[in-house]
């Protein structure tokens, strides 16, 4: 049975959220009322996203707001928590190409929910080669963040070698970081350093989320450096003959690793409902080189 999301339902979602109901409670009420979970989840996410955009447009056109009285509650409303501002690419009017400042970038695929955009020609071939060569002497077995302690650990789900550039450590890195910041409308200083990864035949990164699990005891320590991760850009530096794509299991999407191309995705809360589960499929022939840029809520130090 097909369920249609009506204007009345959207209005009800906004009313519940602005009244202080948590998103999880709104979703639960919809499911109990007979809505299919996937339809309810998509309706909630899209409605809140659209509402936030309208609020943002209204703020831009309105005069500066009067300061709230001292007794106003400091805690954010459920709507604000559910629709935290995240990196995004301006795609109104369905542009085929985007101005990245120093080069034009193609829009190959655009998905609304979750927000996934495949970009063509984000990097030149010379820039791809430059990142690979600069990273080679510094490669080591890739680690993952250990959310139980806030440290790092070897993870059998991630069988690659990698390294991190410091933010702005070279002209090449600065140029790429500025380009990404312009495209996704997010400050350079809110980004982690670019990470380069090398996958040999059989190497992979099993499906995972990039945000830090709030339930893990080490997460508060991790978040001190800039808050949650809210966006990711994966850039392909070469083309393995077979395998090595970036998979999004929740939406049935696999992005092929094409040299110079990239995939961007964002997530407005640390929850599986963002549908941003993704992984690096095993390399079946040759090797794969990628560069990853993660964006944080605040300045990353």
Domain ranges of the chain: 7-82, 97-296
Nearest C-alpha neighbor of 188 from the set 200, 203, 178: 178
Its sign, for the CA torsion 179, 182, 187, 192, is negative
* Omega before 114 within 30 of 0, i.e. cis: yes
Q: Which residues pair with 231 in a beta bridge?
A: 266, 295
Name, in order, each residue with C-beta under 8 angstroms of 142's C-beta and a sequence gap of 6 or more: 155, 158, 159, 160, 161, 162, 197
Q: Quote the tokens at residue 117.
A: 């955009």
Q: Is 179 helix (H, G, I), strand (E, B) or coil?
A: helix
Asked if 264 contacts 232 with a C-beta cutoff of 8 angstroms, the reply is yes
Nearest-angstrom CA–CA distance, 90 and 79:
22
Q: How far apart are CA 142 and CA 204, in angstroms?
A: 11
CA separation, residue 26 to residues 20, 45, 48, 54, 196 (Å) = 10, 11, 12, 21, 40
Q: What one-character DSSP code corresponds to residue 191? A: B
CA distance 66 to 56: 17
Pick the CATH number of 97-296 from 3.40.50.300, 2.60.120.620, 2.40.10.230, 2.60.40.1120: 2.60.120.620
d(CA 228, CA 210): 9
Chain centroid to CA 218: 21
Cα–Cα distance measured from residue 160 to residue 192, given in angstroms and rounded to the nearest whole number: 19
Residues, the chain: 301
Q: What is the pLDDT of residue 147?
A: 59
Block residue for tokens 């002209």: 171
Closest CA to 233 of 268, 284, 196, 207: 196
Confidence (pTM): 0.72
Query: Whole-angstrom Cα distance, residue 268 to residue 227?
Result: 12
Give tens-digit pLDDT for 47-90.
888 877 676 555 444 444 433 333 333 333 444 444 468 999 99
Helices of type H across the chain:
7-18, 23-32, 37-61, 78-82, 125-135, 171-184, 219-223
Determine the 3-state secondary structure of 7 from DSSP: helix
Tokens of 30: 């919809």
Would you state the pLDDT for residue 35?
87
Low-confidence ranges of the chain (pLDDT < 70): 1-2, 19-20, 53, 55-84, 143-159
Contact 216, 261 (CB under 8 A): no
Q: What pLDDT sits at residue 50?
A: 82
pLDDT the model gives residue 144: 60
């Amino acid at each position: 049975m097909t369920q249609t999301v009506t204007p009345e339902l959207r209005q009800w979602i906004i009313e519940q959220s602005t009244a202080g109901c948590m998103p999880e409670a709104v979703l639960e009420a919809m499911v109990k009322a007979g809505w299919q979970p996937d339809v309810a989840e998509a309706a909630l996410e899209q409605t809140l996203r659209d509402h936030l955009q309208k609020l943002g447009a209204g703020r831009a056109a309105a005069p500066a707001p009067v300061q709230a009285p001292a007794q106003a509650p400091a805690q954010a409303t459920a709507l604000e928590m559910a629709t935290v501002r995240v990196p995004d690419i301006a795609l109104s009017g369905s542009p085929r190409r985007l101005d990245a400042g120093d080069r034009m970038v193609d829009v190959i695929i655009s998905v609304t929910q979750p927000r996934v955009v495949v970009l063509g020609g984000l990097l030149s071939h010379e820039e791809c080669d430059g990142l690979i060569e600069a990273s080679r002497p510094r490669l080591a077995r890739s680690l993952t963040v250990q959310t139980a302690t806030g440290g790092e650990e070897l993870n059998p789900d991630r069988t690659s070698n990698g390294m991190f550039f410091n933010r702005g450590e070279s002209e090449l890195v600065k140029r790429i970081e500025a380009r990404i910041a312009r495209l996704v409308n997010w400050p350079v200083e809110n980004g982690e350093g670019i990470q380069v990864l090398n996958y040999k035949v059989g190497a992979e990164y099993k499906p995972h989320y990039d945000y830090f699990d709030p339930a893990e005891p080490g997460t508060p320590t991790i978040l001190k450096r800039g808050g949650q991760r809210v966006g990711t850009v994966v850039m392909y530096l070469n083309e393995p003959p077979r395998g090595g794509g970036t998979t999004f299991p929740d939406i049935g999407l696999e992005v092929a690793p094409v040299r110079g191309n990239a995939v961007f995705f964002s997530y407005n809360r640390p929850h599986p409902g963002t549908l941003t589960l993704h992984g690096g499929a095993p390399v079946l022939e040759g090797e794969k080189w990628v560069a990853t840029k993660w964006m944080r809520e605040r300045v990353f130090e």
